[in-house]
Amino acid sequence: MRTAREYGLAVCQSCGWLVQDAPARCDRCGRKVHFRNPASLQKVWAYWLAGVIAYIPGNTYPIMITKSVAGENAATIIGGVLTLIHHQSYLVAGVVFIASIVIPVSKFLVIAWLALSIQRGQATGEHTRLHAYEATEFIGRWSMVDVFVVAALAALIQLGALVSIQPGIGIQAFALSVIFTMLSANAFDARLIWDREQDKENDDDNL
Amino acid sequence: MSEFHAENPLPQSADDLNAQYIACPHCDSLYVRPRLSENEKLECTRCHSIIMTNKVRSSERTLAAMIGALILYGVAVSFPFLSMERSGLENKISVIDCISVLWTNQMYLLSIALALLIVVLPVSRILLLVQVVGTIRVNGRAGWRNARALRWAQFLEPWSMAEIFMIGVIVSLVKVGKMANITVGPSFIALTVLIVLLTWTSTAMCRSTTWAALERKQ
């Protein structure tokens, strides 16, 4: 299998046009075209770290504050899931648990694993890694579900002194974490998975 | 489909080069560009990604879906999607209320982010696609400014979160369903149809033929 880079060609990542004098602007869609995205892994790690950091307050601070005649109750993400289980809403509890805990955590792990495998020059499991990357890119945005739930509930439950819901500061950090992890996955150049030492002579974009 | 061989000298002009060769965007493998018959696709022999497609009536279908989506978006944003009633008190909410409640709670950045993710970016993406696909439908081809527009439309795709918002609404519906009387409004139905339409568009639209119909900046 010969790669485009071996012949001095670079593929535009947005429109697929082949460019002869990379790095240059794609002469069809105007995007900057590189043999490999410059500093791809550095960007991946930077956004990854920002995402992990934002994820911590996202989980420790309350995401939703319920005020009612019975008093005030501030719930975290995990607290909300436990309340749903307590009320036997297992399906919704499952959706929230998967979107807010399982997906973000597995995303952190998958991105770290992909970046480390590239840095170690791993030459096996390319198909598994490409699938893991595509799944991460596809599924990552679904973590925003909890943010929209909080916004909808806070808008809906406004019955004065009877009961009202306010968004908690944790949801802001959580949304930020989702956005950073999306950017991290976005910065990853899938072509790196298939690169081998011997075909790097044309590589002018340092990793 | 055949692999590229080093004996063939590469064409000098960018147009000839791209007419004869195509590369996999996921693993960089280079191929001699095949002629695809209708609904045929080119799969990369190394990483098995789909490199090229030739879907029938792509621009026609996409244009129809996008015009429909634009109308549905208008309905979805202007009418309430949920209303709740308890002990004689009633509260109706629209998409805009979900955004403004964050603003009134001093979460300005999140409020702006939500406005972008569920209204501004999805609508911009739909408008860009109407422009590009509409021009191709009418003229058969489209100028280089449309290529820029299509690039932006593609960039906006992961950041258009209408369908995720809809799942969020359904989750909140189940969450409060037991404590109050909840009824769905016209916007809820519009949003549901919109999700179906947007999902269908992603399979009906052919990126390869759309890009191929766009001209380069001379």
CB proximity under 8 Å: B 56-85 to A: 82, 84
Q: pLDDT per position in chain B (218 positions), as tens?
A: 555 555 567 888 888 899 899 999 999 999 999 999 999 999 999 999 999 999 999 999 999 999 999 999 999 999 998 888 877 888 899 999 999 999 999 999 999 999 999 999 999 999 999 999 999 999 988 988 999 999 999 999 999 999 999 989 988 888 887 777 888 889 999 999 999 999 999 889 999 999 999 988 77
Q: How far apart are CA B66 and CA B133, in angstroms?
A: 9
Q: How far apart are CA B7 and CA B83, in angstroms?
A: 70
Q: Check CB contact under 8 Å for A149 and B168.
A: yes
Angle at the Cα of A141 (from A137 to A143), degrees rounded to 5? 125
Residue from A138, A75, A173, A201 nearest B113 by CA: A173
**In Å, how far is A123's CA from the nearest CA of chain B?**
13
Q: What pLDDT shows up at residue A206?
A: 42
Low-confidence ranges of chain A (pLDDT < 50): 198, 201-202, 204-207
Q: How far apart are CA A141 and CA B62, in angstroms?
A: 23
Helix/strand/coil for A150: helix
Residue from B147, B46, B16 nearest A12 by CA: B147
| Complex confidence, ipTM | 0.89
First to last CA, chain A: 23
C-alpha distances in angstroms, A13 versus B51, B100, B176? 12, 37, 44
Phi-psi category of B59—alpha, beta or left, where left has phi over 0 and alpha has psi -120 to 50?
A: alpha
The answer to whether residues A31 and A17 touch, using CB atoms and an 8 Å cutoff, is no
Q: What pLDDT shows up at residue A205?
A: 47
Q: Which residue has 């009202």 as its token pair?
A: A164
Q: Check CB contact under 8 Å for A7 and B46.
A: no
Q: Tell how strand A71-75 and strand A64-68 pair up.
A: antiparallel
Amino acid A165 reads: I
Q: What pLDDT shows up at residue B197?
A: 93
* Option in A30, A130, A167 nearest B26 (CB): A130
Question: What tokens appear for A67 in the block?
Answer: 């005020």
The answer to whether residues A74 and A62 touch, using CB atoms and an 8 Å cutoff, is yes
- Ordered by start, the domain boundaries in chain B are 2-53, 58-212
Domain B58-212 sits in CATH at 1.20.140
Question: What tokens appear for B177 in the block?
Answer: 């369903």
- Number of Cβ within 10 Å of residue B93's Cβ equals 25
Beta bridge partners of A90: none
Q: What pLDDT shows up at residue B100?
A: 93
Q: Check CB contact under 8 Å for A29 and B6.
A: no
Beta bridge partners of B89: B86
Residues of A in contact with B148 (CB under 8 A): 29-30
Q: How far apart are CA B151 and CA B25, in angstroms?
A: 15
Residue from B75, B97, B84, B92 nearest B187 by CA: B75
Residue B179 touches partner A, C-beta closer than 8 Å? yes
Beta bridge partners of B86: B89
The answer to whether residues A64 and A79 touch, using CB atoms and an 8 Å cutoff, is no
The answer to whether residues B200 and B65 touch, using CB atoms and an 8 Å cutoff, is yes
Q: Check CB contact under 8 Å for A20 and B216.
A: no
Q: Which residues of B120-149 are buried (b: 16+ CB within 10 A; e: fewer)?
A: ebbbbbbebbbbbbbbbbeeeebebebbbb
Residue from A19, A198, A180, A203 nearest A104 by CA: A180
Residues of B in contact with A18 (CB under 8 A): 14, 17-18, 21-23
Q: Which residue has 């694993």 as its token pair?
A: A113
Q: How far apart are CA B63 and CA B133, in angstroms?
A: 6
Residue B188 touches partner A, C-beta closer than 8 Å? no
Residues of B in contact with A40 (CB under 8 A): none
Residue B140 touches partner A, C-beta closer than 8 Å? no
Helix/strand/coil for B139: helix
The answer to whether residues B182 and B173 touch, using CB atoms and an 8 Å cutoff, is yes
